[in-house]
Amino acid sequence: MPGPGLFLSQIIRKEGADMTKIKKRTERICQLWGWSLFIVSALFFCWASIRAEDVVSFFGGFFFLVACIVFLIPFFIKKNSDAP
């Protein structure tokens, strides 16, 4: 997957020089990368706990995975700009 720098250059060409839009978009991309890495980490933690036959660690990793997904829900919900 391409890094944030590639997306930033595409945004500059597409949206002009509006720095607030560029910063918001870059921040959003970085947040998505961070949460994606957390999800991958949780999956590996669950996998390792299954291999070790450790039920407590599995549930810890599973709930961490669910928490990461819950934190991502607002990220993908389209915000209504007219709402207070």
Task: Please state the domain extents for the chain.
Answer: 4-76
Q: List pLDDT tens digits, range 11-65.
A: 566 555 577 878 888 888 998 999 999 999 999 999 999 999 999 999 999 999 9
pLDDT at position 36, please? Answer: 93
* In the block, residue with structure tokens 């999800």: 39
pTM of the model: 0.66
pLDDT at position 19, please? Answer: 74
Asked whether the beta carbons of 26 and 8 are under 8 A apart, the reply is yes
Asked whether the beta carbons of 11 and 37 are under 8 A apart, the reply is no
Asked whether the beta carbons of 38 and 68 are under 8 A apart, the reply is yes
Name the residue type at position 12.
I
Rounded Cα distance between 3 and 81, Å, is: 28
